[in-house]
């Protein structure tokens, strides 16, 4: 398949080129030239299929023969060795738990797939690749774990100092080996800006083969369609004749964009509810039709603290920059920190279920949507993006109780943090990278 830039000023790329470049040379994000479609017959054949079979079917459409089918199948099997539970809270409301991977966050789906593809392409080209990543928490840990020990690769993580949870920071800074963590004196938008500047730096790109593992990378986005495809078919089986609604905690909007792709590919999805926190640039666009990003605001749902989300460019592309078309598929609702805490308490009291702050934002956004659309009776799933133990401080504040920390997280807490402090001045990053 051919991919081209949302800015439409760079040369079209193969999957390999788009993956290894990360960001197009005109500063745009790669998108497929044509969104592949599944026929009704193909969807029917997948209805009872295991997750990995669905993932392979979707990946094959985007791969279009570039990676041999047997090798692509091996990559899928190596990546997704964990379950994706769909937990019923009540008759028509579910939580799709996306946090059962190695780092207990939904980013494991995209990061592991990207790592395996990058390793495959690096081996094919016999080259050494530097992966540059901006993270507000879970992306960095998932990428670090996904690329850990992958031959011919080196990962450099940029994260905002003091703006991720302690557990997330420990996951970012204790991997070692081919992973280096840079602690940036700024916010996530600063980290994202620095990464974009590096990709636009022609002099630096003469020294290093750079790619990105953020959701700006098309091979991080593609696997995010897998769990929407699977989840929609699960809900269709449980509620015959009805299409799924998905409530999505949204920060950089890669997760939601993956869902939109799955819908456009033909999977049985009716509508999306995009839950934002105080960083509500896209929410306001959906309501008013004007996109006016504001500076980032710190919230309890820290991984969603993104003032100017990158993947909004892809959403605008897929909807031909038509506000009404996008708003027909996506409803946006903003959720405050106090509402987030109240939701964690209410969900626990009603269902005995503990949600992390991001999932709580998605749940409350769904409630707001239902309040405004009382006739909707389709099944809905909240995309649960992280294990609650990754946000023990917020859970403690909401529920006044301690929760058990999984062994794999406790082991990380006992390790020594290793990071390199750095300013948000691009000259410092450029100097560091040029010496690698």
Residues belonging to the active site = 107
Asked if residues 295 and 308 have their Cβ atoms less than 8 Å apart, the reply is: no
How crowded is the C-beta side of 27, counted as CA atoms within 13 Å? 7
Report the candidate in 121, 160, 156 with the shortest Cα–Cα distance to residue 298: 160
Residue written as token pair 């091979």: 219
- The CA R_g of the chain, rounded to the nearest whole Å, is 20
Distance, in Å, from the CA atom of 25 to the CA atom of 382, rounded to the nearest integer, reads: 36
Angular region, 321: left φ>0, alpha ψ -120 to 50, beta rest: left
Give, in order, the Cα–Cα distances in Å from 153 to each of 22, 66, 121.
14, 21, 11
* Torsions phi, psi for 101 (to 5 deg): -80, -175
Report the candidate in 361, 362, 353 with the shortest Cα–Cα distance to residue 300: 361
Asked if residues 302 and 274 have their Cβ atoms less than 8 Å apart, the reply is: no
**What crossing angle do the helices spanning 138-147 and 107-125 adopt, rounded to 10°?**
40
Distance, in Å, from the CA atom of 328 to the CA atom of 334, rounded to the nearest integer, reads: 18
**β-pairing, 30-32 with 3-5?**
antiparallel
């Amino acid at each position: 398949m051919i991919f081209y830039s949302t800015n439409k000023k760079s040369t079209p790329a193969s999957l390999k080129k788009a993956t290894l470049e990360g960001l197009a040379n005109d500063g745009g994000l790669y998108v497929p030239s044509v969104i592949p479609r599944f026929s009704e017959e193909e969807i029917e054949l997948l209805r009872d299929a295991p997750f990995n079979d669905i993932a392979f079917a979707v990946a094959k459409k985007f791969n279009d023969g570039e990676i041999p089918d047997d090798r692509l199948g091996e990559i899928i099997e190596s990546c997704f060795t964990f379950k994706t539970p769909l937990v019923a809270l009540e008759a028509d409301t579910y939580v799709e738990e996306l946090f059962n991977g190695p780092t207990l966050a939904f980013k494991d789906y995209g990061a592991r797939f990207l790592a395996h593809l990058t390793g495959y392409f690096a081996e094919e080209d016999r080259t050494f690749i530097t992966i540059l990543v901006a993270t507000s928490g879970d992306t960095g840990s998932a990428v670090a774990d996904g690329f850990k020990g992958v031959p011919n690769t080196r990962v450099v993580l940029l994260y905002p100092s003091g703006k991720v949870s302690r557990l997330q920071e420990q996951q970012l800074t204790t991997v070692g080996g081919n992973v280096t963590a840079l602690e940036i004196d700024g916010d996530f938008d600063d980290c994202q800006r620095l990464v974009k500047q590096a990709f636009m730096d022609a002099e630096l790109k003469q020294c290093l083969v750079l790619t990105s593992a953020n959701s700006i990378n098309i091979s991080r986005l593609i696997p995010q369609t897998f769990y929407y495809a699977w989840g929609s078919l699960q809900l269709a089986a449980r509620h015959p004749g009805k299409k799924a609604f998905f409530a999505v905690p949204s920060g950089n909007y890669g997760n939601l964009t993956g869902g939109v792709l799955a819908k456009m590919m033909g999977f049985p999805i009716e509508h999306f509810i995009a839950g934002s926190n105080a960083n509500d640039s896209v929410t306001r666009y959906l309501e008013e039709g004007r996109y006016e990003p504001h500076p980032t605001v710190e919230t309890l749902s820290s991984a969603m603290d993104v003032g100017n989300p990158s993947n909004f460019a892809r959403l605008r592309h897929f909807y031909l920059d038509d506000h009404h078309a996008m708003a027909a598929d996506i409803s946006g609702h903003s959720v405050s920190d106090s509402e987030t805490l109240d939701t964690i308490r209410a969900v626990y009291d009603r269902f005995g279920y503990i949600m992390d702050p991001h999932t709580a934002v998605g749940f409350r956004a769904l409630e707001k949507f239902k309040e405004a659309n009382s006739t909707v009776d389709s099944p809905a799933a909240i995309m649960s993006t992280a294990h609650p133990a990754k946000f023990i401080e917020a859970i403690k504040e909401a529920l006044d109780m301690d929760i058990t920390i999984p062994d794999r997280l406790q082991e990380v807490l006992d390790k020594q943090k290793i990071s390199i402090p750095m300013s948000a001045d691009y000259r410092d990053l450029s100097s560091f990278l040029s010496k690698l």
